[in-house]
Amino acid sequence: MNALAARRRHPAAIAVLLLLGLLVTGGAYSFLAPKDANAAAQSAAADDVANGKDLFIANCATCHGINGQGTKSGPSLVGVGAASVDFQVGTGRMPLPGPNVQAPDNKVKFDEQEISDLAAYVASLGPGPAVPEEKYTTVIKPGTPEANKAIAEGGEIFRVNCAMCHNFAGAGGALTRGKYAPPLDGVSPKHIYEAMVTGPQSMPVFNDSNLTPEAKQKVISYLSAQENQTNVGGLTLGNLGPVSEGLFAWIFGLGILIGCAVWLGKKAA
């Protein structure tokens, strides 16, 4: 028996071999594994949250609290989700310049990256609705049969769920206590979707069980079609419904009647 064979039979040989094998596989793995993709994404996400936190402390914490827990001047943002921040900051409603009955849309104060960082920070405070996937916020291509079907269905959904506040044509309307539902033309599809999932102020939340993402997309397609529609029925009078139409009838209708009466009176004299 030579020396090598003797060592191979040594009881420790198996343990040494195993250890060697593990070391080689482990080393090779850590050397070859696609470390960049995952780690980079994670550290980028952490950067976004950290950057968002700085922006938040500088611009929002006076009203919403250092940790977004809320103060007398602003509600808690724990659990409102990225969608709410993207909507509120993306439409310029936030940062609110001062106390008001309602935060109206306004000049947008931050760029896309800053908004997404703020949203990432607020989302890190507690789970809430995420910024919607793009496939649901794209208007279904107009002119196709699917689009016509979607627009018809979207209109139906809109009249049942939204028209009582926003008016049948999306022209907006007054609510109680000085609040109002704004007109919906010119609002981007993403913000329409986010308004539905977050329910800003007195607007109800339409979560996915009330209105599926597909249904929301139909509403968006309907609103977009409304916006691009050429009006065929004469003057729109702002599409405000009976009030402006009534006013129109009173002023012009009565005016004409009075004019006739005066003219007839003159003729008789």
212 lies in the binding site for ligand HEC (CB under 6 A): no
What is the rounded distance in angstroms from the CA atom of residue 259 to the CA atom of residue 257? 5
**Residue among 214 and 248 whose Cβ is closer to ligand HEC:** 214
Structure token pair of residue 194: 């986010």
B/e letters for 134-158, b = 16+ CB within 10 Å, e = fewer, are eebbebbeeeeeebeebbebbbebb
Q: Which is nearer to ligand HEC, 67 or 102 (CB)?
A: 102
83's tokens:
């969608």
- Measured from the CB atom, is 93 or 238 closer to ligand HEC? 93
Instruction: Put residue 203 in one of left, alpha, beta given phi > 0 → left and psi -120 to 50 → alpha.
Output: beta
How many whole angstroms separate alpha carbon 185 and alpha carbon 236?
Answer: 14
CB of 79 to ligand HEC, least distance (A): 9
**CB under 6 A: which stretch of 4-12, 40-48, 61-69, 133-141 binds ligand HEC?**
61-69
Instruction: Assess 236 for contact with ligand HEC (CB under 6 A).
Output: no
* Contact of 31 with 38, CB cutoff 8 Å: no
Q: Does 80 bind ligand HEC (CB under 6 A)?
A: yes
> Binding to ligand HEC by residue 221, rule CB under 6 A?
no
The 189-208 contact track toward ligand HEC, x by CB under 6 A, reads --xx--xx-x-xxxxx-x--
Least gap, CB of 255 to ligand HEC (angstroms): 35
85 part of the interface to ligand HEC, by CB under 6 A: yes
Q: Which residue in the set 98, 143, 145, 178 belongs to the binding site for ligand HEC (CB under 6 A)?
A: 98
List the one residue from 48, 53, 77, 218 that touches ligand HEC (CB under 6 A): 77
User: Binding of ligand HEC at residue 123 (CB under 6 A)?
Assistant: no
Length of the chain: 269
- CA–CA–CA angle 39, 40, 43 (5° rounding): 85
Q: 61 near 49, Cβ under 8 Å?
A: no
Question: Residue 235: is it exposed, middle or buried by C-beta count within 10 angstroms (0-12/13-18/19+)?
Answer: exposed
Interface with ligand HEC (CB under 6 A): 59-60, 62-64, 73-75, 77, 80, 84-85, 88-89, 91, 93-96, 98, 102-103, 105, 118, 161-162, 164-166, 175, 179, 181-182, 184, 187, 191-192, 195-196, 198, 200-204, 206, 219
